[in-house]
């Protein structure tokens, strides 16, 4: 198996439309026709409840971890740290692109936050855990998922570029890409936040029956 095949596999893993499959299989509905219409974990929380929202978020994080870890199928990357890091970043980004533009659901997917988190956990677990804490504190303080996601991405970039001061160019580019992806995929949310029209997350919504 060569690199291109693994990148394609990472994209296909990222493309798995967890929320759509759950909503159709368990509830007989299409999550895209309810709430915000976005097939992501946040809308799953809003429409299906905390149990299934947590399930979808965990599954989407796992997609990122698994896709980014596909390097283990290539013996060369087990012995070359710099090459491994670069390849993990490529694999992770392929999974994120798959989540945002999934082949299984007409190339209309979620915003990639959970999959980016899974990617970060596979590459930089300590930094990713710090960002999770930032995300949760912001979420439970403001109940804005979009703001929490963007802030966590910015913190990730700051940690890599300035606090840990990573010397490897690939790490630094990776951190910038993560922050930019989160800002780009949340443009509409940013506008609603500025106008005071952003919806707060229903953190403890009961499960849909």
What's the chain's length in residues?
209
pLDDT of residue 53: 86
Residue ranges of domains in the chain: 3-194
CA distances from 48 to 54, 91, 117 (A): 10, 31, 22
Residue 68 — pLDDT band, cuts 50, 70, 90? very high
pLDDT of residue 33: 94
Q: In angstroms, rounded to a whole number, what is the distance separating the alpha carbons of residues 208 and 103?
A: 28
User: 150-185, pLDDT tens digit by residue?
Assistant: 999 999 999 999 999 888 888 899 899 889 988 988
Residue 5 — pLDDT band, cuts 50, 70, 90? very high
User: 127-147, pLDDT tens digit by residue?
Assistant: 999 999 999 899 889 988 889
- For residues 67 and 82, the model is more confident at 67
Is the pLDDT at 202 greater than 80? The verdict is no
Contact 78, 72 (CB under 8 A): yes
Mean pLDDT of 81-94: 93
Q: In angstroms, rounded to a whole number, what is the distance separating the alpha carbons of residues 147 and 142?
A: 8
Among residues 104, 98, 25, the alpha carbon closest in space to that of 63 is found at 98
Q: In angstroms, rounded to a whole number, what is the distance separating the alpha carbons of residues 150 and 180?
A: 9
Mean pLDDT of 62-67: 97
User: 12-59, pLDDT tens digit by residue?
Assistant: 999 999 999 999 999 999 999 998 898 988 888 888 988 898 899 999
pTM over 0.75: yes
Among residues 153, 147, 154, the alpha carbon closest in space to that of 199 is found at 147
Residue 204 — pLDDT band, cuts 50, 70, 90? low
């Amino acid at each position: 198996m060569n690199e291109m095949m693994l990148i394609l596999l990472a994209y296909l893993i990222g493309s798995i439309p967890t929320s759509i499959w759950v909503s159709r299989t368990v509830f007989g509905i299409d999550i895209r026709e309810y709430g915000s219409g976005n097939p992501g974990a946040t809308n799953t929380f809003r429409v299906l409840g905390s149990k299934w929202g947590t399930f979808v978020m965990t599954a989407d994080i796992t997609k990122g971890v698994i896709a980014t870890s596909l390097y283990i199928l290539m013996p060369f990357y087990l012995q070359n740290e710099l090459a491994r890091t670069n390849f993990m970043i490529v694999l992770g980004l392929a999974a994120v692109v798959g989540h945002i533009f999934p082949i299984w659901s007409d190339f209309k997917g979620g915003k990639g936050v959970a999959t980016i988190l899974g990617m970060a956990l596979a590459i930089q677990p300590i930094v990713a855990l710090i960002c999770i804490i930032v995300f949760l504190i912001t979420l439970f303080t403001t109940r804005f998922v979009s703001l929490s996601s963007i802030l966590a991405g910015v913190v990730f970039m700051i940690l890599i570029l300035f606090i840990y001061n990573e010397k490897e160019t690939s790490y630094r580019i990776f951190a910038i890409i993560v922050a930019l992806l989160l800002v780009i995929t949340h443009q509409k949310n940013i506008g609603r936040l500025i106008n005071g029209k952003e919806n707060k997350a229903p953190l403890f919504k009961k499960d849909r029956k």
